[in-house]
């Protein structure tokens, strides 16, 4: 039986099936990929919104949230949950055989 001694000196059994905390591998991959893809998209949307702010026959100050933040967040959340689902599904199928 393997034991780990935390800083408080008590022994914790790591071989039982209790919850140990932390995130899944799929969550880590999903978060990383979403950040890598979404940040450049966010800045591209922000620059495009700033450049197209006031032109003839176009209303000024359209809004940051509906044209920059909301699409970026939707892309980020979609990537996060999609990658998380795929990675966790692949790990589950690998365990099954």
> DSSP strand E in 1-97: where?
3-4, 12-13
Per-residue CA distances from 97 to 54, 62, 69 (Å): 59, 53, 42
pLDDT in tens, 41-92: 999 988 888 776 666 776 666 678 888 899 999 999 999 999 999 999 999 8
Burial degree of 71 (CB within 10 A; 0-12, 13-18, 19+): middle
Residues 6+ apart with CB under 8 A from 64: 46, 49
- Residue 79 · residue 33 · CB < 8 Å: yes
pTM of the model as a whole: 0.68
């Amino acid at each position: 039986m393997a034991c780990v001694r935390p800083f408080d000196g008590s022994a914790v059994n790591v071989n039982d099936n209790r919850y140990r905390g932390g995130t899944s591998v799929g969550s880590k991959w999903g978060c990383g990929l979403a950040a890598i893809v979404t940040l450049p998209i966010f800045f591209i949307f922000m620059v495009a919104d700033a450049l197209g702010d006031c032109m003839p026959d176009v209303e000024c100050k359209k809004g940051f949230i509906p044209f920059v933040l909301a699409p970026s967040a939707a892309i980020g959340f979609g990537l996060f949950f999609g990658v998380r689902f795929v990675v966790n599904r692949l790990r589950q199928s690998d365990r099954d055989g």
